Structure 1
């Protein structure tokens, strides 16, 4: 049985990634920067959390 759960890491990483995406993008680029940052942050957060 695999007990690796990365829900918390994904949520925290997604929020941090969205913040970074918003901070680094400009004007209309935010429509892309925030979701891409959130997705990348969620992936990294899951790996850090043990997923």
Structure 2
């Protein structure tokens, strides 16, 4: 599970798509899941054994 919490604030004084001004800082939250698969890569075994 992955959780990201960002403390952000707008870079523009006015938001045209919302038709209002941007008033300061806000919290952006992101929650997600990550599934992965690890593929091991091995080299050839050494012919000599070192102690």
Query: So what's the TM-score if we normalise by structure 2?
Result: 0.27
Larger C-alpha radius of gyration, 1 or 2? 2
Q: TM-score scaled to structure 1, two decimals?
A: 0.27
- The structure with the greater share of residues assigned to strand is 2
Higher helix share: 1
